[in-house]
Structure 1
Amino acid sequence: MAAQAEVLDELHRLLARLPQLTGALAASVDGLVLAQETRGVEPEGLAALTAAAQGIALRFADVTGQGDFRELLVRSAHGYVATYRAGPSAVLTLLAEGRVNVGRLHLEGRRSGQRISELLGSAVHQPAPAPQQAPATTTGGALPVRTPSARADRAPRSANGEAPNQ
């Protein structure tokens, strides 16, 4: 497929622009590899994890009313895993060293996600902000909200846990 070769070319250009990247993968939202340049990481497993992470990120965004998923960043002891939306049908995942400039990582990741979306024929558009709506709920209902209970029978405590002198 010509689009996959073009996506792979985009990944190669991205790796050249940001030398601290150790891998790049474009996957379908279903977890199938579209194109990849990952050394030392199984691409099929990474694509499956990318799809799962996007699913969780979508749920977080939905439950909190924060809008559509755009990106996800995981910081680990030795580097970063960054996932970017690449249209409605694809996701871009980047692996980076710990010394990467995170702002540059986001800049390049967002640009490449947009380019991959265009290559796949599903351009990501940035719609005007929608009016604020209540978060959607699933059949399980809304998540419970924890609120502290005020207890009149309890004396106020200081920061160290002791009751103040009266």
Structure 2
Amino acid sequence: MTAAPPEVLAELQELRVRVPYLTGAMVASTDGLVIAHLLAKNAEPDGVAALTAAALGVGARLTEAVGHGGFRELLVNGEFGYVATYAAGVSSVLTLLATADANVGRLNLEARRACPRLAALIDGAFQHRPQQV
């Protein structure tokens, strides 16, 4: 996959500044390929991206099955923190990791604001790349 624009990584860095207790951020394609990430060394980016794609698939099927339309976001609350995944355009998702002390409202607010910017950066960058044979 072509390298993500530097603005994508900058957006993830800004999220780390704006959201207290955020411990990681990743943008991945909807099929589970890493586009950009700021994850701790103990989190394997490829594994997180693959699991995010699987969760996205389940979330999308669930919202469709109950008549709630297309996937928008998914929040998982674990014993030690949160994993939140948000649709970021048609081809990518934003996944954020936060400690249990995080303000979920702030997490959602900042992620929802970031997703349209990320979508424009990613969809625009990968839409104009040359076709590979």
What TM-score comes out, normalization by structure 2 length? 0.87
Q: Which amino acid is 2:93 matched to?
A: V
Is residue 22 from structure 1 mapped to residue 23 from structure 2 by the alignment? yes
Q: Aligned to 1:86, which of 83, 88, 94?
A: 88
CA RMSD of aligned residues (A): 1.2
Q: Give the drift of 1:3.
A: 4.2
**Code of the aligned partner of 1:90:** S
The residue that corresponds to 2:64 in the other structure is 62
Q: Are residues 51 and 2 of structure 1, via their aligned partners in 2, closer, same or farther at CA, if it must alter by over 3 Å?
A: closer
TM-score, with length taken from structure 1: 0.71
1:19 CA drift (Å): 2.6
Residue of structure 2 in register with 1:125 after alignment:
none
What are structure 2's unaligned runs of at least 5 residues?
125-133
Report SS of the residue matched to 1:110.
Answer: helix
Which segment drifts farther, 89-98 or 3-12? 3-12
The residue aligned with 1:76 is: 78
Task: Please list the CA deviations of residues 47-68 of structure 1 after superposition, one character each: whole Å capped at 9, or x if unmatched.
Answer: 0000000000000011000011
In the alignment, the residues of structure 2 paired with residue 92 and residue 121 of structure 1 have an alpha-carbon distance, to the nearest angstrom, of 13
Identity %: 55
Tell me the distance in 2 between the aligned counterparts of 1:19 and 1:103: 11
Q: How does 1:103-122 map to 2 (within 5 A)?
A: 103-121=105-123
Higher strand share: 2
Deviation at 1:18, TM superposition (A): 1.1
Q: What residue in structure 1 maps to residue 35 of structure 2? A: 34
Q: Give CA deviations for 1:142-163 in whole Å, capped at 9, x if unaligned.
A: xxxxxxxxxxxxxxxxxxxxxx
Deviation track 1:83-132 (CA, whole Å, cap 9, x = no partner) reads 0000010000000010111100100111111110011236xxxxxxxxxx
Which shows bigger deviation, 106-115 or 64-73? 106-115
Separation in structure 2 between the aligned mates of residue 33 and residue 2 of structure 1, nearest angstrom: 10
Structure number with the higher helix fraction is 2
The answer on whether the counterparts of 2:4 and 2:35 sit within 8 Å (CA) in structure 1 is: no
Secondary structure of the residue aligned to 1:67 is: coil
Deviation at 1:10, TM superposition (A): 0.5
In 2, the alpha carbon distance for the partners of 1:29 and 1:37 equals 18
Match of 1:153 in 2: none
Aligned amino acid, residue 36 of structure 1: H
How many angstroms does 1:46 deviate by?
Answer: 0.2
Kindly tell me the number of residue pairs found equivalent between the two proteins: 122
Higher relative contact order (CA 8 A, sep 6+): 2
